[in-house]
Amino acid sequence: MIKVKLFLSIFFITLSLLGFCKSFAQSSPDSKKIDETIPQSSGVAFLDDKSDNVKFSSTAIVQILNKTTAKSSLVELKINQKINLGTITLKARKCWQAPLEQKPETKILLEVFENKVTDSINQVVENTRIFYGWLFASSPSISGMEHPIYDITAISCKK
């Protein structure tokens, strides 16, 4: 019986201490005040806003280096339009440029196909996708395309 009384007294002391500590915790009405301090029309943009699509451009500019001839050229790729260049076909899916107030960065989602002639008599060409990924202008080595003839580097985006 003494053990039960001791257990109950420790139990109620613990509950009262937890209740006392909870009074110092942040309550939900305070968080409501924070939400009310920034009006919706104040022009403040949050990172998770869905209106962030304005940074996507309609044209991607890439530099293509032909390793065998040592010639490089700048190519403008319209989004979702294929361009044949030698034995490869390029298709830019998206082009994102950082806003002026952030660190300068350009990211291009690029799809590259290799064109191989499978039947020379009937001129049947097979397109095999050899690359699909993001190219970064500031760090070309992060996600570069591996090809024996061509090197492709992201340069910028254009509206």
Segment 112-158, tens digit of pLDDT: 999 988 877 777 788 899 999 999 999 888 878 888 999 999 999 99
Give the 3-state secondary structure of residue 63.
strand
Pair (90, 13) in one structural domain? no
Pair (68, 142) in one structural domain? yes
Radius of gyration of the chain measured on its C-alpha atoms: 30
Q: Say what the pTM is.
A: 0.62
Indicate whether 127 belongs to any domain: yes
Segment 29-39, tens digit of pLDDT: 544 444 444 45
Pair (86, 33) in one structural domain? no
List b or e across 34-71, with b for residues whose CB sees 16 or more CB atoms inside 10 angstroms: eeeeeeeeeeeeeeeeeeeeeeebeebbbebeeeeeee
Domain count, the chain: 2
Indicate whether 44 belongs to any domain: no
Structural domain that includes position 104: 54-158
User: For tokens 């090809």, what's the residue?
Assistant: 147
* Cα separation, 154 vs 64, whole angstroms: 9
Ramachandran angles phi, psi of 47, nearest 5°: -65, -30
Pair (6, 62) in one structural domain? no
Q: Which helix (H) or strand (E) holds 16?
A: helix 2-22
